[in-house]
Amino acid sequence: MNKQDTPLSPSELWQTWKRILGLSRPYLVRLIAGLVLTALATGVWLSIPLGIRSLLDSVFEKADRGLLNLMALGMLGLFIFQSLVSFGSHFWIDWTGSRVVTDLRQQVYAHLHRLGLRFYADHRLGELTSRLGNDVGAIRSAATTDLGQLLMQSFSLIGSVALMAALNWRLSLVVFGLVPPVAIGTRYFGQKIREVSRRVQDRLADTTSVAEEALSAIRVVKAFTREPYEVQRYHDEAEAL
The whole-angstrom distance between residue 219's C-alpha and the CA centroid of its chain comes to: 41
CA contacts within 13 A on the Cβ side of 84 = 6
pTM of whole model > 0.85? no
Kindly report, residue by residue over 21-70, the tens digit of the pLDDT: 777 888 889 988 988 898 888 888 888 777 777 777 767 776 777 777 88
Q: For 59-116, how does the pLDDT look when each residue is reduced to its tens digit (9 = 90+)?
A: 777 677 777 788 788 888 888 998 999 899 889 988 888 888 888 888 888 988 888 8
Query: Three-state SS string across 57-117, please?
Result: HHHHCCCCHHHHHHHHHHHHHHHHHHHHHHHHHHHHHHHHHHHHHHHHHHHHHHHHHHCCH
Q: Which residues contact 201 (CB under 8 A, 6 or more apart)?
A: 130, 134, 135, 138
Chain centre distance of CA 174: 31
